[in-house]
Chains A and B, each alone.
Chain A
Amino acid sequence: GENVEQHPSTLSVQEGDSAVIKCTYSDSASNYFPWYKQELGKRPQLIIDIRSNVGEKKDQRIAVTLNKTAKHFSLHITETQPEDSAVYFCAAKGGTSYGKLTFGQGTILTVHP
């Protein structure tokens, strides 16, 4: 089955810096890659997603890139702010799946003022 690896497990940046979180997946048929942000004690919230027919997608300060050949995708956050501090999860949906998401381990992002 699908396996998703996420790095780094923790990331500490200064306010205003960029942050990059990377994920690799194993199933070449996977076709949907969402990113979730989870603040302490709150629900995972979808912040951006990308489908396998697209290489890059942006939404204000966040962007996701996908390299299907290498089977990896990345989350980029620019001009980080303290409120970006949270746990970020990547996930992948297999091509034959009815919706099953396979998650990475999560990255704890801390943005220092």
Chain B
Amino acid sequence: EPEVTQTPSHQVTQMGQEVILRCVPISNHLYFYWYRQILGQKVEFLVSFYNNEISEKSEIFDDQFSVERPDGSNFTLKIRSTKLEDSAMYFCASSPRTSADIQYFGAGTRLSVL
């Protein structure tokens, strides 16, 4: 069964550094999402992406965040200058053309900012 793949599984970085979290959505999916979950809190929506542009973003997704689909398979989340409060589990998800509602999640990248 096809799966959303995220790398790395754990990323440790120093405050102020840039990080790029990588995701390979399920092949032929057209809608892509990033969510995050701070330890002990709810899963929170960050951004949705369709047709090479952001279709929706939350208040969390400020200027330090950006997303990109650099080629036909990868979907990346960049955090320009990490802060301690960016430490969280980041989930990528994708949806097929036939149903933008049904979202398939990756296993997540745990980001630790020191």
Residues of A within 8 A of B (CB): 32, 34, 36, 41-46, 49, 51, 89, 91, 93, 97-106
Contact = CB atoms under 8 A, between A and B. Distances in A.
A103 B42 CA distance: 6
Interface of B: 3-4, 31, 33, 35, 41-45, 48, 50, 55-56, 58, 91, 95, 100-108
Given A89-B43, A103-B43, A34 B102 contact: yes
Contacts of B58: 100
A43 B56 contact: no
B48 A43 contact: no
Contacts of B56: 97-100
Contact of A100 (B42, B48, B91, B107): B48
Q: Most chain-B Cβ atoms within 10 A of its Cβ — which of A36, A98, A106?
A: A98
Contact of B107 (A42, A102, A103): A42
